[in-house]
Structure 1
Amino acid sequence: MVVKVIELVGTSSHNWTDAVDNAVMEASRSIDDILGVEVTNFTANIDNGHIAEYKADVKVAFKVNH
């Protein structure tokens, strides 16, 4: 089996968990056989002293089909 890994940034206005979920859901729209996700970093945009956007840097692993 060959596995490919891509890096993505998911975003959410609610929390970091949703940001990760959004990245995986978006990837699954065009990628089959996703095997796992590694969260590499959490960041956020701030607006008027409050978090306006949560961001999750992720690596998504999927099986390469021949």
Structure 2
Amino acid sequence: MAESVYKVVELVGTSSESWEKAAKAAVERAGESLRDLRVAEVVEQDIVMEGGKVSAYRTKLKLSFKYEGKD
């Protein structure tokens, strides 16, 4: 079996509805430009409040994908 290397990036997704939708938004957007996505780990969740009410859910993810570059 050949060795593989994976790169990890940190992303923050947002949603006005839920943390799950915020995570999904981040992964789907990353999938538009990154290939071979492997694992997403939720590292933090928070909310944005305006006027004492929740206005957005934010989910911070570490996302790994197969590394193919020289950087």
State the TM-score, normalized to the length of structure 2: 0.88
1:19 maps to what in 2?
A: 22
Q: Distance in 2 between matches of 1:5 and 1:34?
A: 10
User: Which 4+ runs in 1 deviate beyond 3 A?
Assistant: none
Q: Distance in 1 between matches of 2:66 and 2:35?
A: 8
Unaligned runs of 5+ in 2: none
Q: CA RMSD in A?
A: 1.0
Q: Distance in 1 between matches of 2:10 and 2:32?
A: 15
Unaligned runs of 5+ in 1: none
Larger proportion of strand? 1
**Number of residue pairs the alignment of both structures matches:** 66
Identity %: 36
State the TM-score, normalized to the length of structure 1: 0.94
1:48 maps to what in 2?
A: 51
